Chains A and B, each alone.
Chain A
């Protein structure tokens, strides 16, 4: 990793480009004025359940809910 940009820092923190861009997007959403701000924030709700499988056995599913930035 080289260069002077901010790239290495979030990459070194174990983030992917997606989570980095999501945090940025959320910051932009928070900059909106009021009626639009709540609208934009309520629109982007996260909810799903994810379960990892190892050797044909399901692990315990974790539910991701309302955590817009991760």
Chain B
């Protein structure tokens, strides 16, 4: 107590010598004179200490989230890579034809249910919106089918009228083909389309995911396109076995293609989500570490300054007595 009183007394004289706010030199916004309780003249380190504690806790949380994302990513990455074999034959057979002109476009935007995963959801939404703009015309129709809470939250704001279906809570159980195919079935039954355009983030590595569009054309459009000898002209060179007509085959193919492409897209997107979350959490724990370093420096400097002041006071007091 005596020390504190001495310190407080001494501060009055010491102020011209030392800067009144030594921390102001390194510009810390956390400690200013307004923050100190009323009537306290010495600099309180309490606020900095609390701040340090909370930053440390946040860092712990983000580190834990990174670990969780990393372990989830490993499980889902294998699945996603295996699922690529599902759509590749379709692309070989029907081709990937994003440029084919279609009247009724349905844009299937795939996003995640949870946040804290960087910008992948907003990228998907941005691509969907620009696709919507690109395909809009006088006799054209664009509709959204949205997977996941995050894209829903953004698209509900300004594209309410064009939303056709919203699907959420997809990732409660581990993703599997049955689930996605039931979902694809529901989409097919509920929307009319000439072309389905699926927007998702394709997983390349933990730090890179490309926003990708997969196109599934309706059977009528495929047939028309094949007959006119456009991009799908080669389709006629395939022989059809069995009793089915070409139209039936194409319809079955289009449906199955959609469910396969959806399965892959959902997996790739989940994979990208975990990767994005991992890197986001990594950088936020690094930021927290940097902030902690800065705060520690501030805190120690202030502490050192007050110790120095006390020493000066004691020494000068002693020498005044001697003199």
A46 to B321, CA, bound (A): 86
Return chain A residues, CB-CB under 8 Å to B163. Answer: 53, 56
**Across the interface, do A16 and B182 meet the contact criterion of CB distance under 8 Å?**
no
The yes or no answer to A9 lying at the interface (CB within 8 A) is no
A25 to B318, CA, bound (A): 93
A-B contact count (CB 8 A): 104
A16 to B190, CA, bound (A): 12
**Across the interface, do A2 and B243 meet the contact criterion of CB distance under 8 Å?**
yes
Return chain B residues, CB-CB under 8 Å to A67. Answer: 182
Given the known interface contacts A5-B242, A5-B243, A45-B179, the answer about A18 and B169 at a Cβ–Cβ threshold of 8 Å is no
**Across the interface, do A19 and B161 meet the contact criterion of CB distance under 8 Å?**
no
**Across the interface, do B173 and A45 meet the contact criterion of CB distance under 8 Å?**
yes
Q: Which chain B residues in 104-162 approach chain A with CB under 8 Å?
A: 160-161
What's the interface size class on B, roughly?
A: 35 or more
Would you call the interface of chain A mostly helix, strand, loop, or mixed?
mixed
A51 to B258, CA, bound (A): 20
A8 → chain B, closest Cβ, in Å?
A: 8
**Across the interface, do A18 and B164 meet the contact criterion of CB distance under 8 Å?**
no
B164 → chain A, closest Cβ, in Å?
A: 6
Closest 3 A-B residue pairs measured CB to CB?
A3-B243, A44-B178, A56-B160
- Tell me the B residues contacting A by CB distance below 8 Å: 160-161, 163-170, 172-174, 176-179, 181-186, 188-190, 242-245, 248, 251-252, 255-256, 258-259
- Tell me the A residues contacting B by CB distance below 8 Å: 1-5, 7, 11, 16-19, 21-22, 25-26, 43-53, 55-56, 58, 61, 63-64, 67-68, 70
